[in-house]
Structure 1
Amino acid sequence: MRIIWEWLRRWQLSLFEKVILTNSLLLLAEAVTALWVTSHALEAHHFLIDTTFLVAATLLSIAINAFLLRASFRPLFRLLGVIRQISAGKTEARAESAPADSSEVGQLAAAFNTMLDRLEELRRQQSALILQAREEELRRVSRELHDESSQNLTAVLVYCEILLRTVESLPAESMTSETRRQLIASCQQLSELAQQTLDAVRQLSQRLRPPVLDDLGLVAALRWLVEDCHRRFCLPVELTIEEQALWQRLPPPYETTLFRIAQEALTNVARHARASRAQLSLQLASSAIHLSIRDNGLGYDPGQPSNGLGLVSMRERAALLGGRLSIDARPGQGTHVEAILPLPVS
């Protein structure tokens, strides 16, 4: 049967043609065998021979058809397995397809892979556009907070100071000492509240889109991020940057991606890891950029499902630039996040 299958494969027949040809050959062989049986003097056992021949021919026909159909549909079963993997979230899975395979199933697998590649490319383009629009919106909101809101709060501070000086300069007989004291205390409290709000707005503006990232580049932004983590979360972060990376500016998409990955990773460390220290390193190799974040916190089990979008966002950002993000975490042994991006083509 394997010889028949290999012979049929060399002919590049369709599945329908293979079944018809195989059954035609079986019928022809059965007719020749029946002719041979009837041409010989086997009358003594004629009924037994005919019955045995019919049963054997039927079983042989069923076996050959089952083998032929199973061999023909095996690639289709593999394709079905790939579809199930993709449905489970493994979007990188692809169907096996030989370049010279011109069968229906081979053509279906090739078309399926082409469709998946096209959908993946469209998804990446859409994700890139969404991330770009998001960064532009964050930049706009950050500037509005810094320019408009900060200016308004600064004006409130100035008017509070003027009001305080006015109250202090009023004649003593114009109001009681208790009223004067209450007005002065209220003006001071209002001034302190406006100053705190102004500081909070400035910090929020910097966290949304730090101006240092656009003005001075990635290295300066990472230094600001380390100081911000120490100030906000009391998390000491050791920053290590290769000397070569101190002077080389990267394209804006690369700097934004590396900064957002570092920001998300350190935020996760501060909020969930219960770590006492962390390490952030940036290494510029000959063909790739390595960003590493380590901590000595609780770690976690990567096999457990996670509802957070932070890890998904970090992986998506790295994949859009042709890179990858790996996470090495074990319960009680901390977490190591590493992003590797290929160097941009000059």
Structure 2
Amino acid sequence: MTLIDLLNFVLGLAYFITGFVIMLQFFQYRELSELKIVNNLWLLGMFGLLLGVSLWLQFFLPFLPPEAVQAEYVMLLQVLAGAAAYALFYFYGARLLRITNPRYRRWQATSFFLVILWLAIFMLAAVYYQDRQEWLRSSMAWANYLLGLPGVLLVALAFSSQLHQFRHEAEPFLNHCLHGAIACLAVYAAITMVRIPYTPLGEFFFGDQTANLVDILLQVLLALCGLVLSCFILRIMQIFDLENCRKLEDAQRKQAILQERLRIGRDLHDGVIQSIYGTGLQIEQALRKLDPASPAAASLVCSLQDMDRVIEDIRGYIMKLSPMQEETGGPTRALQSLFTEFTRRSGIPADVKFIGRLDGAVEADVFHHLYHVLKEALANITRHARAGTVEAMIEVRPGELHCTLRDDGIGLPRIFPLGGYGLRNIRDRVACLGGEVKWSSEPKKGTELRIRLPLGVRNHAIADSG
């Protein structure tokens, strides 16, 4: 038994265990994981299993008599298992590249072409070589050259395309493992390119007796590189466990948020709403003592109506609904009602114009935050601006929504504090949607609020604070 035989046995064991673990991970996480690397992971697992079997068969070959028929069958199985493993490895790299970047979708077709080409060489070599063992060794070399080497390069490229996702989803040590696997694949490809025995390059290196020592050294390096690659791939598979733990933590966090929202809902219903009801009853008692035609009675009636709307809004928050949107038939009518109600309450004429179709173009969470941003801005105008008119323009552009709110009031002070609760809410709501908000003002010439929000993207909005 030589050192190469021992390394083949250990390497075959490493590949087989790696393939077995990958298959277990695939069947466990194929329906749960959102990582692209899990797609067609069974191809990588089958590669490990078949290559492990091929290396084990190569290990047992020296123990069989060279002239025995069993030796030829074992060698044939070893060649077919190795060629199938290399083909699956190439196919996995092509599929992973296609999923990551559609530009590489044509690479998948090349795998079928290379397999057909190898089968043609395999059959032609059977006619060309008189010695069957020489035929099988030649076929294995061509499998290594046509399928194994391109597969290694393709998987290295496919793993490189996953670096961005690993950088965001995985711990740093897993990202380092992916870098290590890519480096091992590159070194493996370089060594394989040098030691292919049935190419002019291989004949140049191994044409004399001295080159045999180089060949042995290169085989040892290949085996060690394969062992390190197996270790890196096994460590990379831990990303699925990490992803599963993070999903569990997210589920627990969402459950905690849900429980907290239920508690707040109960407190709002049993505390705030009941207090408003009590205040409303007191106002109704006061109304009975006033002349129904008096201005004071009319003002109290308006206050009661406002309190009813506040109660409905609070109930909407409790039910996690966006107030006004469902009741008024969509975002456009909801915003029109908001400005109409602002004019009724404040006495300030307000006009809102729409450019482009708002209904159907704005996601529910984007509209929810936009609605409350405008509501807060209008409340600030009522309290501080001393404005005579208010104008708003809402424009829907490809991928963006632009909103401008302008008044002709006294303007903002020179030292403009952004730390106020209302203004901070406006800034936070826009920021959580990935948008931008800007204020511009001149003394006695009014204030302009400009908002830009992205559309058509998944927004990670913060929980609504009311």
Determine if the TM-score, normalized by the shorter chain, exceeds 0.5. Answer: no
TM-score by length of structure 1 reads 0.44
